[in-house]
Structure 1
Amino acid sequence: MTEKILVTTTENIPGHHYEIIGEVFGLTTQSKNVIKNIGAGLKNIVGGEIKAYSELLTEARDTAISRLRDNASELGADAVVMMRFDSDSISQDMETVAAYGTAVKFVD
């Protein structure tokens, strides 16, 4: 059900009028395992993309959006507008990602 909640980075959704419900959030903190951390350290020596970190951030982003949709669904929202991300490193191998936006209910 939550997959049906539209998430957009824009303020307006063409063809829809809506009322604002309130702020919604999706938060996650992810870490890599020790083996991937060693591989990332070796890749740091030669340069290039560190795929373990890219995968970590992709998973964290997807989880944050899923939790954002869950939060919006709990409030009875049809969509989330003005969605944004924020991220921060907690430690060398842990990353926090927050997805946030405004939950809205369609009125048309």
Structure 2
Amino acid sequence: MVTTNDIPGYRITQVLGEVMGLTVRSTDFGQSFTGAFRSLGGGEIPEYTKVMYESRQEVMARMWGEAQQRGANAIIAMRFDTGSIGNFSEVCAYGTAVVVEPVGAAATPA
């Protein structure tokens, strides 16, 4: 999984299309209460940072699962997009599922 349009040392043999992973999350009552209290003083709010980090990991896993179902062994041009819906955080990861092979490997018929 890379954010670039190619992978050094590999060539793309098939493009299988766009794949994505999506999650919408909220914090639990304790996290929201603690986070709101911490926001009064400014600075990082670890409760929200944890939710966003976990969200990124989840959407990457979902995207990778979709890519594997299509027969991909790599994802190129991977990006994140975030937004909010009310008090909820949306995180989306998307990219292009591809099949790659090392440069110099014998080509296999499609």
Instruction: Give the Cα–Cα distance (whole angstroms) in 1 for the partners of residues 36 and 8 of structure 2.
Output: 46
Q: CA RMSD in A?
A: 1.0
Instruction: Give the Cα–Cα distance (whole angstroms) in 2 for the partners of residues 13 and 48 of structure 1.
Output: 37
TM-aligned CA deviation for residue 89 of structure 1: 1.0
1:47 to 26, 42, 45: 42
Q: Which residue of 2 aligns with 1:4?
A: none
Moved over 6 A (4+): none
Residues 2-81 of structure 1 mapped to structure 2, 5 A cutoff: 7-18=1-12, 19-81=14-76
Larger radius of gyration: 2
Instruction: Give the Cα–Cα distance (whole angstroms) in 2 for the partners of residues 52 and 15 of structure 1.
Output: 40
Instruction: Give the Cα–Cα distance (whole angstroms) in 2 for the partners of residues 45 and 96 of structure 1.
Output: 24
Q: Which residue of 2 aligns with 1:85?
A: 80
Counting helix residues as a fraction of each chain, which structure ranks higher? 1
Question: Which ranges in structure 1 are unaligned for 5 or more consecutive residues?
Answer: 1-6
Q: Which residue of 2 aligns with 1:3?
A: none
Question: Which ranges in structure 2 are unaligned for 5 or more consecutive residues?
Answer: 106-110
| Residues paired across the two proteins, number | 101
TM-aligned CA deviation for residue 85 of structure 1: 0.3
TM-aligned CA deviation for residue 48 of structure 1: 1.3
Q: Which residue of 2 aligns with 1:104?
A: 98
% of aligned pairs identical?
37
Superposition TM-score, scaled by structure 2 size:
0.88
Instruction: Give the Cα–Cα distance (whole angstroms) in 1 for the partners of residues 71 and 17 of structure 2.
Output: 11
SS of the residue 1:87 aligns to = strand
2:89 to 79, 86, 95: 95
Instruction: Give the Cα–Cα distance (whole angstroms) in 1 for the partners of residues 23 and 79 of structure 2.
Output: 14
Superposition TM-score, scaled by structure 1 size:
0.89
